[in-house]
């Protein structure tokens, strides 16, 4: 099991000028960095690999940034733009050792609107077709997709683990799996531990956040049950703290971040890591 931190907590966009975060995260005790690459050309893969190697770090997961204009259930243009963007990420990931493209790969974040069952089925079929294409594309590059359900305020398409399991089953490619996030589960699941067990071997990646998007452990989430469930399914993938602050304006608006959750961003990282290592190890 590796412990990582998502770069959205500190910087957007992440570029070649952001590699100082690799050392910062290492100094805090993390062994991996999860990078949100908003545009494929923002990062030189060879330079990123060198920075990771120089500091004894890994980058296992790349977080896709899916905003307006990148939407696998949007207009035909939006669908193609989203596909091209994610294929571009899959192309560069092997160069620096990343193995998973993660996030709500099916839709633009923040798209949440009423729709009837027929419209939902129409969108579902389109998304499945596109994710089948992406999963095949990923498999040829020995990387995987980890698809994340979001809470109801950020998407109307995929909110629960049971929906994610159905989506992955419909994709029908073992390069497609699930990312579960404690923040979203706290809102949408009847029981987070039950959801983890339901994901089982399909759980490729895990985000650990407080119930308010703050520090894991400084909240009301039942972490003992979550730890027990992860152990029960023999989960040994990445555990990443993903939080946001008001400093990164674009992400703050998309995720409705209107206040600071903790005294500092470093608090979220350092205290959160200490808690997770103590509980999950």
148 counts as catalytic: yes
Q: Which two tokens stand for residue 47?
A: 């330079």
Q: Which residue has the tokens 């005294």?
A: 263
Burial group, residue 132, by CB count within 10 angstroms (0-12, 13-18, 19+): middle
Q: What angle do CA 145, 146, 148 make, to 5 degrees?
A: 135
For residue 102, give the 3-state DSSP assignment.
Answer: strand
Burial group, residue 17, by CB count within 10 angstroms (0-12, 13-18, 19+): exposed
Catalytic residue, chosen from 100, 188, 242, 262, is 242
Q: How far apart are CA 210 and CA 7, in angstroms?
A: 17
Q: How far apart are CA 214 and CA 54, in angstroms?
A: 30
242 counts as catalytic: yes
Catalytic residue, chosen from 148, 154, 189, 262, is 148
Do 216 and 209 form a contact (C-beta atoms < 8 A)? yes
Q: Which two tokens stand for residue 23?
A: 């050392």
What are the residue numbers of the active site? Answer: 148, 242
């Amino acid at each position: 099991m590796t412990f990582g931190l998502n770069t959205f907590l500190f910087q957007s966009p992440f570029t070649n000028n952001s590699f100082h975060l690799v050392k910062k995260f290492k100094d805090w005790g993390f062994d991996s960095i999860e990078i949100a690459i908003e545009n494929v050309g923002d990062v030189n893969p060879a330079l990123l690999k060198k920075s990771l190697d120089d500091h004894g770090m890994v980058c296992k997961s790349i977080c896709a940034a899916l905003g307006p204009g990148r939407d696998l259930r949007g207009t035909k243009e939006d669908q193609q733009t989203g596909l091209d963007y994610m294929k571009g990420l899959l192309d560069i990931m092997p160069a620096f050792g990343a193995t998973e493209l993660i996030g709500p790969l099916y839709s633009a974040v923040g798209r949440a609107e009423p729709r009837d069952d027929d419209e939902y089925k129409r969108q579902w079929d389109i998304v499945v077709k596109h994710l089948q294409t992406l999963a095949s594309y990923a498999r040829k590059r020995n990387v995987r997709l980890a698809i994340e359900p979001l809470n109801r305020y950020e998407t109307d398409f995929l909110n629960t683990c049971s929906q994610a399991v159905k989506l992955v089953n419909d994709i029908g490619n073992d390069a497609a799996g699930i990312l579960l996030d404690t923040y979203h589960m706290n809102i949408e699941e009847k029981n987070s531990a039950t959801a983890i067990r339901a994901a089982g071997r399909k759980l490729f990646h895990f985000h650990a956040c407080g119930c308010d998007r703050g520090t894991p452990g400084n909240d009301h989430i039942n972490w003992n049950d979550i730890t027990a469930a992860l152990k029960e399914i023999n989960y040994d993938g990445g555990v990443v703290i993903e939080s946001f602050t008001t400093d990164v304006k674009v992400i703050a608006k998309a995720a409705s971040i209107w206040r600071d959750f903790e005294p500092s961003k470093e608090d979220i990282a350092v205290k959160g890591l200490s808690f997770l290592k103590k509980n999950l190890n």
